[in-house]
Structure 1
Amino acid sequence: MRRVISAQWITLAAHLAAMLFGLVGLLLVMPNTEFIESLSELGLQIFAMGMQGGGAVFMILGAISISLYGWHTLGAKRLFAFLIPSVFLSLGSELLGTSTGFPFGGYSYLSGLGTKIAGLVPFTIPLSWFYMGLACFLIANTTLRFGNHWMQRVEAIALGAMMLTSWDFVLDPAMSQAAFPFWEWHQPGAFFGMPLQNFAGWMGTGALFMTVASLLWGKDNQPILNRKQLVFPVIMYIGNFVFATILSCGASIYPPIFLGLLLGVAPVLGMWFSAAKEEDTVPTPALESLSTSPIALPKSSQPEVAARR
Structure 2
Amino acid sequence: MVRVLPWALLGALVLTQICYPLTEGGLRAGLTVLTVVLGYLLSVAHALLTRGARTAAALIATATLGGFAVEALGVATGFPFGTYVYSGQLGPKLLGVPLIIPLAWTWMAWPAWLAALRLARSRPARIALAAAGLAAWDLFLDPQMVAEGYWTWESPTPALPGVPGIPIGNYLGWLGFAVVLMAGLAAATGARADTVRPGDTPMLVLWWWTYASSVLAHAVFLGLPASALWGGVLMGAVVLPLAARRARRPVPA
Give me the TM-score of the superposition, normalised by structure 2.
0.87
Match for 1:7: what amino acid? L
1-side partners of 2:10 and 2:80: how far apart?
31
Aligned-pair Cα RMSD in Å: 2.3
Among 70, 79, 86, the residue aligned to 1:102: 79
Following the alignment from structure 2 to structure 1, what is the Cα–Cα distance between the partners of residues 9 and 224? Answer: 30
Rounded to whole Å, the distance in 2 between the matches of 1:171 and 1:259 is 12
Percent identical residues: 25
Whether 1:80 aligns to 2:52 is no
Whether the aligned pair in 1 keeps the contact of 2:2 and 2:50 (CA below 8 Å) is no
Question: Secondary structure in 1 aligned to 2:194?
Answer: coil
CA distance in 2: counterparts of 1:225 and 1:19, whole angstroms: 28
The answer on 1:154 being equivalent to 2:161 is no
- Give the Cα separation in 1 of the matches to 2:32 and 2:13: 10
Structure 1 residue aligned with 2:187: 215
2:209 and 2:251 mapped to 1: Cα distance?
Answer: 24
- Specify which of 218, 229, 232 is matched with residue 248 of structure 1: 218
Task: Give the number of the structure whose residues are more often helix, by fraction.
Answer: 2
CA deviation vs aligned residue, 1:21-41 (integer Å, no higher than 9, x gap): 222103xxx6xxxxxxxxxxx
- Displacement of 1:18 after TM fit? 1.6
The code of the aligned residue for 1:93 comes to V
* Mapped contact 2:93–2:99 kept (Cα < 8 A): yes
Alignment correspondent of 1:262: 233
In structure 1, how many angstroms separate the alpha carbons of the residues matched to 2:29 and 2:223? Answer: 24
Number of aligned residue pairs: give it: 245
Q: Which runs of 5 or more structure 2 residues have no equivalent in the other structure?
A: none
Shift of 1:230: 3.8
CA contact (8 A) 2:51 2:192 kept: no
C-alpha distance after superposition, 1:218-257 (max 9, x if no partner): 2x4442315x444222222233334543553344332332
Map of 2:177 onto structure 1? 205
Which residue of 10, 16, 23 maps to 2:8?
10
Match of 1:137 in 2: 113
Are the aligned partners of 1:238 and 1:265 in contact in 2 as well (CA < 8 Å)?
A: no
Q: In terms of Rg, which structure is larger?
A: 1
Q: CA deviation at 1:187?
A: 1.2
Residues 181-192 of structure 1 aligned to structure 2 (within 5 Å): 181-189=149-157, 190-191=159-160, 192=163
User: What TM-score, normalized to structure 1?
Assistant: 0.72
Task: Determine the structure 2 residue equivalent to 1:60.
Answer: 37
Partners of 1:87 and 1:159 in 2: how far apart?
Answer: 20
For residue 287 of structure 1, what is the aligned residue in structure 2? none
1:167 touches 1:264 (CA, 8 Å); kept in 2? yes
Q: Deviations over 1:30-72 (max 9, x none)?
A: 6xxxxxxxxxxxxxxxxx4x34422211111111112222222
